[in-house]
Amino acid sequence: MRKPWSTGKYSYATNGHILVRVLRRDEIPEREDAPPLYNVSHLFFKEPRTWLPAPVVSPQKPKECELCGGTGSVFYCPECDGEGDLEFENKYSRYTVTCDTCEGSRVVSKVVGAGDDGSKKRCDSCAGLGSRQDHKSVPIGDLYFSDVYLSWIAELPGAEIGLYCLGNPARFRFDGGEGLLMPRCKDDEDRWV
Ligand SMILES: [Zn+2]
Ligand SMILES: [Zn+2]
């Protein structure tokens, strides 16, 4: 999803929460593994109930990922499969206990017999980026959006946000392109609505 692609008249990029498209650029190839657009492309034809100027917001700086210490990859604990706890079940009950091997941290410093990088996996906490950016919900009208993505949009020339009802992505448009943005929950949990 992180690689841009072209199809039809447009070139696209998305991370699953925000999608942007510009008129097709020759240097961006078509891709067979491109994310499907059938459930979003019709939204570009729907007129939002209102267009508002994109607000200027300043998100927090990215923080080093605690799980991988900024390296982007980890040895997931072999005992709990990187879950941090273990479940035991019998006929009567189910127990959850903290994993002894990783003490609940989900990762270990080394897997015996795995070689230096043998079973290192991409860190799922930061998607391998080594840093995490906390998103804060910022209200626009009666909806909430990530301050991080709003700061990206605000950098685009002439950016405006178009709102629909709850449950639909918002549209945004700027000189040179347009896009879709998922609303967030009001609270600061990492949840998207
Ligand atoms: Zn990480
Ligand atoms: Zn463990």
For range 100-120, the mean pLDDT: 79
Q: Which ligand is nearest to the CA of 78?
A: 2
Q: How far is the CA of 77 from the centre of ligand 1 (A)?
A: 15
With H, G, I as helix, E, B as strand and everything else as coil, classify residue 11: strand
Amino acid identity of residue 75, one-letter, is F
The pLDDT of residue 119 is 78
Residue 23, token pair as written in the block: 């008129």
Amino acid identity of residue 53, one-letter, is P
For range 19-24, the mean pLDDT: 96
- Binned at pLDDT 50, 70 and 90, residue 167 comes out as confident
Q: How far apart are CA 38 and CA 28, in angstroms?
A: 20
Q: How far is the CA of 53 from the centre of ligand 1 (A)?
A: 34
CA angle, corner 127, sides to 181 and 123, nearest 5? 160
What global pTM score does this model have?
Answer: 0.70
Predicted confidence (pLDDT) at residue 112 exceeds the cutoff of 90: no
The pLDDT of residue 46 is 84
- Binned at pLDDT 50, 70 and 90, residue 16 comes out as confident
The pLDDT of residue 178 is 96
